Amino acid sequence: MIPCVAIIAQGSMGAGVGRRLTDHNVKVLTSLTGRSAASAKRAQEAGMQAVDDRALAEADILLSIVPPGEALALAQRLAPVLAAANHKPIYVECNAISPRTMLKVAEAVAPTGCAFAGAAIIGPPPRPGSTNTKFYTSGPLAKNVAVLNDYGLIVRVLDGPLTAASALKMSYAGITKCFTALGAAMMLAATRGGSDAALKAELAESQPELLGFLGKSVPGMYAKAYRWVAEMDEISDFVGEEFAENEMLSAAGRFYERMAADEAGHKEEIAVMDKFLRAQR
């Protein structure tokens, strides 16, 4: 039987996953509680059916796809509804959170009687024909989530504990997002120091692949920086306070905090980075 899937929420990733599933004849439920008109529009365009929180329990699989800082709050919000329901979906925690936070979410879900699986998403919101978006899942119920391979998603089951997928996401995102923050910070520092032209020329000559990566990742960061603040804090937590690199990753979070404010405000630093990168196009 084709499973019924609930997805919270309807951001770019949630709506993209919803669209991929509905394109494969999956009934996708969602809740618009506290969501914006833009979220409602994305849900409608993805073919997702808006229901109240109680009806979410009718799904076979519930995918939590929200900003990292909202993952635990969502589980706590849904816990009473899921506990009261006769039908129990598998609760799949897909967000960019540390293993420690993953266990807190699992703890919040446990009293509901729902099964629980850890997961992580690597890649952009899925688009028709694209294979760039992958779900990694772990824990005793991971194989139950892999049924979504038959309905347009790419789901890979990891050996190891419930938190294995979370650890993979933290490691991967720590590399890509910390490098983006470092590259952007040095573009700004070079510009302040008057060496931006020389830096651009040297990167183009000796590190063209790095410059190419930054040319895509830095502009792509502007609108996402607000989401990456909590994610970098989760990655810092994953590394552990006893290691010096914990502070490096936390500093990247503070950088993204500043970038999020710039995106919403005067955009001076964003203009500097755009100028730096335009010279290479």
Residue spans per domain, the chain: 4-160, 167-278
* Per-residue pLDDT, 130: 85
Q: Which two tokens stand for residue 191?
A: 């510009």
* Per-residue pLDDT, 280: 44
- Residues 175-212: pLDDT tens digits? 999 999 999 999 999 999 999 999 999 999 999 999 99
Fold of 4-160: Rossmann fold (3.40.50)
**Average predicted confidence (pLDDT) for the chain:** 96
State what percent of residues in the chain have pLDDT above 70: 99
Rounded to whole angstroms, the maximal C-alpha distance in the chain is 66
In this predicted structure, the answer to whether residue 279 has a pLDDT above a threshold of 80 is no
d(CA 256, CA 254): 5
Beta strands in the chain (DSSP E): 4-8, 27-30, 49-50, 61-64, 90-93, 116-122, 134-138, 155-157
d(CA 216, CA 273): 12
- Residues 43-75: pLDDT tens digits? 999 999 999 999 999 999 999 999 999 999 999
- Match 């910390």 to its residue by tokens: 178
The region of weakest confidence among 28-32, 58-62, 162-166, 260-264 is 260-264
Q: How confident is the model at residue 266 (pLDDT cuts 50, 70, 90)?
A: confident
* Per-residue pLDDT, 265: 87
Non-local (6+) Cβ contacts of 13 within 8 A are 65, 121, 125
Average pLDDT rounded to a whole number, residues 216-234: 95
In this predicted structure, the answer to whether residue 273 has a pLDDT above a threshold of 70 is yes
Fold of 167-278: N-(1-d-carboxylethyl)-l-norvaline Dehydrogenase; domain 2 (1.10.1040)
Please answer whether residues 30 and 50 qualify as being in contact, where contact means their C-beta atoms are separated by less than 8 angstroms: yes
